[in-house]
């Protein structure tokens, strides 16, 4: 157990370091473009660590279990177990216990720390970029605030790039009301928004108010569609309860929640990768000869198994998002395939 924990911690730190280097390479552009304080960049990288560990732990469990078992085999401990009639399930029991504990821990983190980490890291990134606008998503629509205006959008149709129920209020440098615009809808046309069914109220120089009704108005909403797309709260920033409420809201609006149903089931299914990885490590480690490059072979097999799991998992999730598979099947198919494979290998491994 101690040997496993030592290898496991080294693997987790190694994978986190690799992901840190990758992230630093991707964010070097922001550093030179916005020249943020060093402590702000450090805060961003520290906040990202829980999310990186979420993906590093399953692979680290596989590597830790396999390498620790190979170390035992190198010291003839596996042979001693065979001589005393200990079967593969008994050898696998400590690894399986660790896998169950890690799966439960990942499920807990996925409900608490991970959504906060993903959400707060974006906030820090906006601070690095010096964004002054504030965007909120509530049950009654989209609210966007900038230094001289506030915008309310009742609904945004991403597929058609159409806004419904547009309201914009402007104020001057003294924070006095300047103008107000109501529009039935807005359509993205070429490089700007075209508002239809416009009711415009303007405060004149003598503090009077004039009302204009225009069928079409352009040039008053200077926000690209991507700003409204970002308002939709990402799945990575929600826990199961929040995602379930969001799915219910989508269904009430008459939209298809298939994509989010897949992600809801995936939040439960993916943490079990820890248990599956720990189970897969045992039969491979028992069959590999500890000498003659056994450690290198174990490392190679671990990487192949782990990346195979993630590729198959991503494939099934993509099929679920596209509606080609039921949400439950899309989220759990990889666990079923690799889980049954590991169980069969454990039952048939020669100890």
Q: Per residue in 140-155, pLDDT tens?
A: 568 777 778 888 888 8
User: Rounded to whole angstroms, how far apart are CA atoms 308 and 88?
Assistant: 24
Q: What angle do CA 336, 341, 343 make, to 5 degrees?
A: 95
* pTM reported for the whole predicted model: 0.69
The residues spanned by each domain of the chain are: 2-112+239-348, 133-229
Element (H, E) at 281: helix 273-287
Q: What is the mean pLDDT of each run of 10 residues along the chain (351 residues)?
A: 77 89 86 84 91 89 79 63 62 80 92 90 82 50 80 83 90 86 91 92 87 90 77 79 86 77 95 90 68 64 85 95 93 94 77 48
Bridging pattern class, strands 134-138 and 209-218: unpaired
132 three-class SS: coil
Strands 209-218, 192-203: parallel, antiparallel or unpaired by DSSP?
antiparallel
pLDDT at res. 91: 65
Position of tokens 């108010």? 209
Strand partners, 199: 182, 213
> What does DSSP assign to residue 258?
H
**Do the beta carbons of residue 208 and residue 231 sit within 8 Å?**
no
**Do residues 274 and 110 lie in contact, with contact meaning Cβ atoms separated by under 8 Å?**
no
* pLDDT, position 142: 81
């Amino acid at each position: 157990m101690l040997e496993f924990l030592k290898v496991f911690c080294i693997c987790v730190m190694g994978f986190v370091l690799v992901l840190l280097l990758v992230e630093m390479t991707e964010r070097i552009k922001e550093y030179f473009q916005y020249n943020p304080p060093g402590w702000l960049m450090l805060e961003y990288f520290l906040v990202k660590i829980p999310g990186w560990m979420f993906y590093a732990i399953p692979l680290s469990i596989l590597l830790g279990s396999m390498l620790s078992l190979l170390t035992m085999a190198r010291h003839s401990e596996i042979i001693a177990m065979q001589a005393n009639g200990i079967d593969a399930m008994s050898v696998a029991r400590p690894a399986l216990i660790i896998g169950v504990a890690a799966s439960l821990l990942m499920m807990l983190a996925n409900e608490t720390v991970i959504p906060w980490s993903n959400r707060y890291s974006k906030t820090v990134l906006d601070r690095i970029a010096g964004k002054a606008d504030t965007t909120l998503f509530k049950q009654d629509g989209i609210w966007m605030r900038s230094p001289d205006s506030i915008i309310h959008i009742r609904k945004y149709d991403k597929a058609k790039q159409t806004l419904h129920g547009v309201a914009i209020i402007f104020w001057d440098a003294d924070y006095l009301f300047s103008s107000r615009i109501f529009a039935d809808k807005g359509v993205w046309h070429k490089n700007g928004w075209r508002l239809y069914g416009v009711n415009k109220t303007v405060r004149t120089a003598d503090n009077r108010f004039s009302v204009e009704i225009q069928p079409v108005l352009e040039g008053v909403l200077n926000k690209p569609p991507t700003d409204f797309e970002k308002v939709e709260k990402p799945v990575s920033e929600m826990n199961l309860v929040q995602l379930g409420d969001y799915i219910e809201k989508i269904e009430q609006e008459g939209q298809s929640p298939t994509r989010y149903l897949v992600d809801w089931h995936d939040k439960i299914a993916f943490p079990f990768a820890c248990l599956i990885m720990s189970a897969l490590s045992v039969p491979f480690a028992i069959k590999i000869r500890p000498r003659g490059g056994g450690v290198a072979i174990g490392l190679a097999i671990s990487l192949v198994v782990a990346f195979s799991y993630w590729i198959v998992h991503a494939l099934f999730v993509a099929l679920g998002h596209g509606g080609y598979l039921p949400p439950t099947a899309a989220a759990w198919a990889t666990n079923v395939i690799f889980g049954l494979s590991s169980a069969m290998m454990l039952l048939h491994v020669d100890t």
